[in-house]
């Protein structure tokens, strides 16, 4: 697909996708969701890409959904626009490879929701996070009410949702919304280094870590453990066996062998 909003680059086994609509602070619109779905289609089929980094151009990852597109929507259209975003962000969660958000600046509203759909977040020291929808008489529509509470706890989530306050990267780190804060000029190099570290691990094991952990979060503890044991066993006789042999033989594993 010929992207208008997304810029893509591949370094070794890492794909970097940059949201580039700087004149609108990368606001999310229908075209963005169309391009994101097309990009995810590509990534599902590309076995050479092991990890994806999602970032933004200019001063924002995403400063929110496109209010100019939403303002004249009726109730049904608003609901459908929310479902469009939810489906796209759910695909990030379900993708068979890790997705990391490199949050360069503002991640507000739909931008915060997009970041929360990734597997974890590395933030610039300039990054700001928030869910300001109540300022507009709205609520988050891309699963922000659901993911935020799961990531930072109910009371922290309700505080941010009620007040619409913006928080700094350091405050987001304290809450557990981001996992690492770095100087702005080191954001992409540091995130690439993390991504390459992950890309060197057993690819099937990484896929299963993502799926088992995410599915297990929605299960009771017992069924979650059963799922873990099943997938643990599935790696014997292939990738897991190669990894264990390489450890014993003091050599690098040859994944796929």
As beta bridge partners, residue 51 has 14
Would you call 93 a catalytic residue per the annotation?
no
3-state SS string over 135-171?
Answer: HHCCCCCCCHHHHHHHHHCHHHHHHHHHHCCCEEHHH
Would you call 9 a catalytic residue per the annotation?
no
Of 44, 80, 93, 133, which is the active-site residue?
133
Of 9, 80, 113, 231, which is the active-site residue?
113
Whether residue 190 contacts residue 180, with contact meaning beta carbons closer than 8 Å, is answered with yes
Which tokens sit at 130? 């928030």
SS3 109: coil
- Between CA 155 and CA 157 the distance in angstroms is 5
Q: Which residues are catalytic?
A: 113, 133
């Amino acid at each position: 697909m010929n992207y208008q909003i997304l810029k893509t680059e591949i370094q070794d086994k890492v794909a970097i996708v940059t949201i580039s609509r700087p004149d609108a602070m990368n606001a999310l619109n229908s075209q963005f969701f169309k391009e994101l779905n097309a990009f995810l289609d590509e990534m599902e089929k590309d076995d050479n890409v092991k990890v994806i980094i999602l970032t933004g151009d200019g001063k924002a990852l995403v400063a929110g959904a496109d209010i100019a597109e939403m303002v004249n929507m009726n109730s049904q259209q608003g609901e459908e626009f929310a479902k469009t975003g939810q489906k796209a962000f759910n695909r990030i969660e379900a993708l068979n490879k890790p997705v990391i958000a490199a949050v360069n600046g503002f991640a507000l509203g739909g931008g915060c929701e997009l970041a929360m759909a990734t597997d974890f977040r590395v933030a610039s020291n300039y990054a700001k996070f928030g869910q300001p929808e109540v300022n507009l008489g709205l609520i988050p529509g891309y699963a922000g009410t659901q993911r935020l509470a799961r990531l930072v706890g109910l009371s922290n989530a309700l505080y941010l949702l009620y007040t619409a306050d913006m928080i700094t990267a350091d405050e987001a780190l304290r809450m557990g919304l981001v996992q690492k804060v770095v100087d702005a000029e080191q954001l992409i190099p540091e995130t690439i280094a993390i991504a390459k570290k992950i890309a060197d691990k057993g690819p099937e094991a990484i896929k299963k870590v993502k799926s088992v952990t995410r599915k297990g979060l929605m299960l009771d503890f017992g069924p979650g453990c059963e799922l873990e044991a099943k997938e643990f066993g599935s790696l014997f006789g292939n990738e897991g066996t190669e990894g264990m042999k390489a450890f014993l033989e003091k050599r690098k594993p040859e994944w796929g062998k």
